[in-house]
Structure 1
């Protein structure tokens, strides 16, 4: 066990690129600090929109090769972040991207036509049983996933939340499926979060600078989607601003999904490290560590002794 990191983080995400957008800087920071980082991705993102014109033939309604391509993008992104332990839930291809469409209220909902092995249709216990042995093998003290709405309503994000939370419960029960490994109780569980006030400030600066296209339709003083939280609902902020450039490099690796001239990079250029290098979380299980002057915990592993 001497080569096992004393602190270990498990992240459960729906598609390639979700991990980098949400926690890419934190992942890179923890890797550099010698902490263990394991990523489980639930689908290959086969139904994603393709932003690279010369790769449009990979679309689901054409050659249907986007999932394999995004597998390569994920590999490249993880190299940028330094993460060496990344896996697909149940193995690559077990669950397919469910796709989505937009509701009139501005959040995602399931698509009209869903593939037979779409993640949204997965049996919850079966899917959780793919994750339980990973938890018992890695023995993470911290789990990061989405909230119950999946951030913005995407069915695969919601399902990833359900699978991660259920698997964490099952993995901790000594009498449950002993064949899947020795029981392990994850000490702290976090849901990804984004600050409403901070996003408003960044968006306001974009608009003041004359940028009316990035995050089109969003008003810095108007309605924002539900994945932006009031600061009082956020418990933790990891300052990984020193790793912002590595996060941006990992985003560039997800080229079919993230445009280098798109809103992520526009906001980064405008706000610098203050937007994408400060990553926020909401503690939903475990004991909050010491709170800093800004009112938030600063380390996901705060209060957890190193093994």
Structure 2
């Protein structure tokens, strides 16, 4: 089977912090791994204290260069940028500025993304959970746009964006749809306890104290073993110079220790046309052929974490 997977992300840097090692593994295994980035990240600020200042009017171009470097580190087969304006982080939805991505009528980006789905014909799509994973309006919009695009992609009567590749392609139904899970409870707990045991300190201590409610969710439906690709993930993260502090939270756990106690990235099933045996070891589990039909035998990962 020619395996094809499409990742849909809200901003430059999200492709590096959510599923990057999994994407790199699938690239190396011969899959076609496609990235869609919905916004340009223009509303971002310089979060790395060691990075040079960037004028607001230059932030979009800066983040585009960083994204290109991150894409090269991960090895995506193809990329698409839809170019919507970053909405910025706003806890009150009424504060989201007009003209930004989160204020765009849903079907406009969905029609464009649906055309890309028809063009690429992925068996698997990875996006965000309904709540965005955290309440950034662009992340919440990313989920809504992705799910609507998948409906349009399989509807033969849908009127897709004619300027986007795939608008005239045959309808396509994606067999499996996942949400990336950045901090599943098992990962946080395993790394926190391992760091306390090895060093007496943990970069997750403050996170657990302030965000313990985030650990109440379900375990991931899929755990993809990708410890051998953590260095590619790290290189992609570091490519986002304005956003990622090399001495910061993302690098608080030694990689050898992380590979020992939790060499996985977790994902939650949003929709599947094939049986899901939890926890899956492979996002393509159960898919037998290019049309997304089910395989007769389903495997599952041997749990060894947490």
Shorter-chain TM-score bucket reads 0.7 to 0.9
Name the structure 2 match of 1:73: 66
Alignment of 1:1-307 (within 5 A): 6-50=2-46, 51-52=48-49, 54-58=51-55, 60=56, 64-89=57-82, 92=83, 95-101=84-90, 109-110=91-92, 113-177=95-159, 180-181=167-168, 182-193=170-181, 194-207=183-196, 209-211=199-201, 214-215=203-204, 217-219=206-208, 223-226=211-214, 229-231=217-219, 234-269=220-255, 271-273=257-259, 277-287=263-273, 291=277, 295-307=278-290
CA contact (8 A) 1:268 1:275 kept: no
CA contact (8 A) 2:175 2:274 kept: no
Separation of aligned partners in 1, 2:258 and 2:20: 15
How big is each residue's C-alpha offset from its partner over 1:116-141, in whole Å with a ceiling of 9 and x where there is no partner? 32111011011101101100100011
Count of residues in correspondence between the two structures: 281
How big is each residue's C-alpha offset from its partner over 1:87-129, in whole Å with a ceiling of 9 and x where there is no partner? 112xx3xx1111114xxxxxxx257754432111011011101
How big is each residue's C-alpha offset from its partner over 1:156-200, in whole Å with a ceiling of 9 and x where there is no partner? 000000000000011111111276222111110011123203202
Separation of aligned partners in 2, 1:198 and 1:246: 19
**Secondary structure in 1 matching 2:214:** coil
CA contact (8 A) 2:125 2:176 kept: yes
What runs of 5+ residues in structure 2 fail to find an aligned partner?
A: 291-306
What runs of 5+ residues in structure 1 fail to find an aligned partner?
A: 102-108
> Deviation of residue 304 (structure 1)?
1.2
Please tell me the root mean square deviation across aligned C-alpha atoms, in Å: 2.4
CA contact (8 A) 1:152 1:226 kept: no
**Secondary structure in 1 matching 2:171:** coil
Change in Cα spacing, 1:242 to 1:54, as seen in structure 2 (3 Å) is closer
**Secondary structure in 1 matching 2:63:** helix
**Secondary structure in 2 matching 1:57:** coil
CA contact (8 A) 2:51 2:242 kept: no
CA contact (8 A) 2:190 2:262 kept: no
**Secondary structure in 2 matching 1:279:** strand
CA contact (8 A) 1:99 1:111 kept: no
Change in Cα spacing, 1:54 to 1:190, as seen in structure 2 (3 Å) is closer
CA contact (8 A) 2:192 2:205 kept: no
Q: TM-score, normalised by structure 2?
A: 0.83
CA contact (8 A) 1:152 1:225 kept: no
